């Protein structure tokens, strides 16, 4: 599975924000936790229904979006 395939969008889930597939955990939640100093292990403990690759996918998605240029 490609990492970004783990990120989904559904207008009926979390207002269409990018989420980890099959959950209501947003990319923003994961990035915010990492930014505030949480480790991967802490996040996986707090969200046992996600995987380490989901965290990596969230960071990859956020990095990709930060490089986008709006025209």
For 24-51, what is each residue's pLDDT tens digit?
999 999 999 999 999 999 999 999 999 9
Tokens of 29: 């939640």
Percent of the chain having pLDDT more than 90? 85
Per-residue model confidence (pLDDT) at position 69: 67
Q: How confident is the model at residue 3 (pLDDT cuts 50, 70, 90)?
A: confident
Q: Which residue has the tokens 């998605």?
A: 61
Per-residue model confidence (pLDDT) at position 42: 98
Domain boundaries 3-65, CATH class: mainly alpha
Residue ranges in 3-51 assigned as alpha helix (H): 27-35, 40-46
Per-residue model confidence (pLDDT) at position 70: 65
């Amino acid at each position: 599975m490609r990492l970004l395939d783990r990120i989904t969008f559904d207008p009926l889930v979390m207002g269409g924000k990018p989420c980890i597939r099959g959950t209501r955990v947003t990319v923003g939640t994961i990035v915010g936790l990492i930014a505030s100093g949480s480790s991967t292990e802490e996040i996986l403990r707090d969200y046992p229904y996600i995987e380490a690759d989901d965290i990596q996918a969230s960071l990859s998605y956020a990095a990709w979006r930060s490089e986008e240029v709006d025209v």
